[in-house]
Amino acid sequence: MPKSIAIVYNTLHSSYYDKHQEAKAVSGVLTCVNAVHKALTKLGYNAKVIPLSPGEHVRDILSSLDASLVFNLFEGFPGEPETEIIVPEILSKRGVPFTGCTAAVLKLGLDKFNLKKMLRTAGIPTPDFQLLGIDKIHLFRLNFPCIVKPCREDGSHGISPESVVHDSVSLKQRVKMILDDYNNQALVEEFVNGREFNVTVMGDTKPEVLPVSEIVYTLPPEMPQLLTFEAKWEPESLYYQNTKAECPAKINDKARESIQKTALGVYRLLGCSGYARVDMRMDNEGKLNVIEMNPNPDISPDAGVTRQAAAAGLDYERLIEKIIKLALDRKKYEFENTSRISFRQNRFN
């Protein structure tokens, strides 16, 4: 096991999130950083915290790290979600083991449109969808109600009650807002309003599915049953107070098996490793629809992954230790696989 671990994360700075009071999602990483640092210290590791800021020479900083493993909590610079891939990309080239998913998987998880295309091609149900701009509104072909969200964001940025639209006027307004305020294309998909579940998968060659969580809404009927930004980050809001996670979910064995099987299929299809969360909802007929796949989801002490790990018998320190072991196992597998390929090539040269 590594003796020294560097916890890498992104600092808070001004961005277009500020316009919608969404900076809390960025500063939330500090809670996770502190919790992971505390857990690593309890486990006996020499852990140090490495913040990354825009404008810094990230490659130089990562190249000069005196650590045998990087605990990757970098979520991209605020307002630049596409930068999330730079840490695993650099570390992978340097041969330094890191926790979580690879750069390729992070990039795919952020591109909701192409992710949904892959799901559909593989026969995995996902709500019908379109990528729309103002100049493409006339091509709209979906059934209302729909949900409109930024194509390349996470953390529920850009998700509010107004995200669910019921007519072409509100559709156009919401698409324009996403384009103007989030520097993003608008992903529009048919809104599935049934029970909502999420489940975490961990591992590489032998992935393990954790117990299923259900998002339980007790909102007034006129409010869309939706995991908005407020539901995650604003404790005083109705959405936060009336949106609860229940784990293990109160479902029968058939539903549990279907949810876990679907999550595992998505995880393998997209080439995930480390840990990722798959979100899905049931339609009116009880059929599962995959909404999103979230690589490197939040692992703060009160986050869904941690709750699911606890339901599987893993306390927080054991969860952090498992994430480290998975990173080392992946590195070992990559080394052995590369060596095997090299041997075969040499043998037949």
Q: Which residues contact 212 (CB under 8 A, 6 or more apart)?
A: 197, 198, 199, 247, 248, 249, 251, 256, 259, 260, 308
Q: Give the model's pLDDT for residue 347.
A: 44
Q: Give the model's pLDDT for residue 27.
A: 72
Q: How far apart are CA 333 and CA 227, in angstroms?
A: 37
295 closest CA partner among 261, 270, 325: 270
Q: Give the model's pLDDT for residue 341.
A: 35
Q: How far apart are CA 23 and CA 33, in angstroms?
A: 17
- Which phi and psi (to 5°) does residue 130 adopt? -150, 155
Domains assigned to the chain: 4-98 (3.40.50.20), 101-125+193-212+247-349 (3.30.470.20), 126-190 (3.30.1490.20)
| Chain segment 262-290, per-residue pLDDT in tens | 999 999 999 999 999 999 999 988 899 99
| DSSP state at residue 177 | H
| Chain segment 62-101, per-residue pLDDT in tens | 999 989 999 999 999 888 889 999 999 999 999 999 999 9
Distance set, CA 32 to CA 49, 138, 180, 193, 324 (Å):
12, 44, 31, 31, 15
- Number of neighbouring beta carbons within 10 Å of residue 85: 21
| DSSP state at residue 32 | H
Q: Give the model's pLDDT for residue 342.
A: 40
Q: Give the model's pLDDT for residue 127.
A: 98
Q: Give the model's pLDDT for residue 336.
A: 46
The ranges of the chain with pLDDT < 70 are: 1-2, 14-26, 332-349
182 closest CA partner among 17, 11, 13: 17
